[in-house]
Amino acid sequence: MNFNYAERMSSLKASEIREILKITQRPEVISFAGGLPAPELFPIEAIKEVNRIVLEEDGQGALQYTTTEGYNSLRKWCAQRMNKRLGTNFNFENILITHGSQQALDLTGKVFLNKGDIVLCESPTYLAAISAFKAYECNFIEVPTDDDGMIASELENIFKNTDRIKIIYTIPEFQNPTGRTWSIERRKAIAEMASKYNVIVIEDNPYGELRFEGETLPSIKSFDKSGHVLCSGTFSKIFRPGFRIGWIAGDKEIIQKYVLVKQGTDLQCNTIAQRVIAKYLELYNIDEHIEKIRKVYKERRDLALETMESEFPKEIQYTRPQGGLFMWIELPEKINVRNVLERCLERNVAFVPGGSFFPNGGHENTFRINFSNMPNDRIVEGIKNIAEVLREFV
């Protein structure tokens, strides 16, 4: 039948990652596709105990509706954590609890984007951010990006020659999909330009806690003097993704706008999930848990890099991230990665083609690898299989 859908539906398509993940449900498939945390690191026994305590202490409150803004104890922890690690100056009133940082992106579109507005993003950028913003019928301009982040001179030139820019979307720490980290100079520059041109910056930081080496850098928000920078965070990569709890932080006036649109979306986030996380943070040492995660992921990153260095053809280029979950692979331009993926799937190995991470298309000679989810032996086997296929194409 010919149903009368909204016009915006014509520009939306299924997430390529989610479609590939359907294939990876088969146990024989070695998946480098999703950004999945290692499930063996979930603190299951601690969560069992915390659930019991939460229900015994105040089961009625834990199972009841709560405010849209979120559970205050959890909001306070988020503010304090960001202030300590990222050089921000938040209190709990600057925090809105969201269903993962993904919901924060969707709410951003509702708050700021009209049809035809411009979103500036890194090139490449996070696939699900493209999907979230595209629903609001915006246009994208990809800012030329190198190993230090958006190139400031290119960004300035875009501002001087483009109308209707509303949002700059960034992932400055261990970026998805490339794994790159912005320099301090680039962070300062984007904060200054946001104020100069009255544009909102969304500083997405799902991976910042997962640093394997080097020092934690100050956030873009720490250089913001005008309130134009908002920060999003999540418990998905450092705790349990199944809870779907994250947050957005920013100027109180802006956060109240987010509260209004969230009330029209889902009223609030899961009450008991918020309380369980807050109680866990009270009773357990989250830093010890994160350190366990870092240790495992660093080992897997190192193993992936060692295998790539020994097995990949010399023509292949790839990033060497200091943290996070991802590495970015570039092949000679003549090679279409989708043909490579087809051959790899025949060998039961999956990854995500890179073209989906460019909102304006192209770059089909690239792909993303996730190293956090597979055990060591399967990482080696999977990358060797990819290497064998690559040698057929290069």
According to DSSP H, which parts of 264-348 are helical?
Answer: 271-283, 286-311, 337-346
Both tokens assigned to 50: 């915390």
Please give the pLDDT value at position 162.
97
Given a cut of 90, whether residue 63 has pLDDT beyond it is: yes
d(Cα 214, Cα 225) in Å, to the nearest integer? Answer: 27
Share of the chain above pLDDT 90, in %: 92
Please give the pLDDT value at position 10.
75
Please give the pLDDT value at position 303.
98
Instruction: For residue 94, give every residue at least 6 positions away whose Cβ sits within 8 Å of its Cβ, in sequence order, or none.
Output: 79, 249, 250, 251, 252, 255
As a whole number, the mean pLDDT across the chain is 95
Average pLDDT over residues 160-189: 97
pLDDT digits (tens, 9 = 90+) for 331-343: 999 999 999 999 9
Place of tokens 């997430």: 15
Q: 95 — phi, psi (to 5°)? A: -115, 130
CA distances from 223 to 151, 171, 183, 230, 254 (A): 17, 16, 13, 12, 18
pLDDT digits (tens, 9 = 90+) for 10-52: 777 766 666 666 776 788 999 999 889 999 999 999 999 999 9
Given a cut of 90, whether residue 284 has pLDDT beyond it is: yes
Count other Cβ atoms within 10 Å, centred on residue 244. Answer: 18
Do residues 349 and 386 make contact, with C-beta atoms less than 8 angstroms apart? Answer: yes
In DSSP terms, 311 is beta-bridged to none
Q: Which residue type, as a one-letter code, is found at position 23?
A: I
Average pLDDT over residues 218-226: 97
In DSSP terms, 231 is beta-bridged to 203, 249
Please give the pLDDT value at position 27.
84
Q: Which of 11-25, 91-105, 253-267, 379-393 has the lowest mean pLDDT?
A: 11-25
Strand order in the sheet with 326-330: 317-318, 326-330, 366-370, 352-353
Domains and CATH numbers, the chain: 8-43+288-393 (3.90.1150.10), 45-283 (3.40.640.10)
Given a cut of 80, whether residue 1 has pLDDT beyond it is: no
Average pLDDT over residues 174-200: 97
Average pLDDT over residues 249-277: 97
Residue 213: CA count within 13 A, CB half-sphere: 7
Please give the pLDDT value at position 21.
66
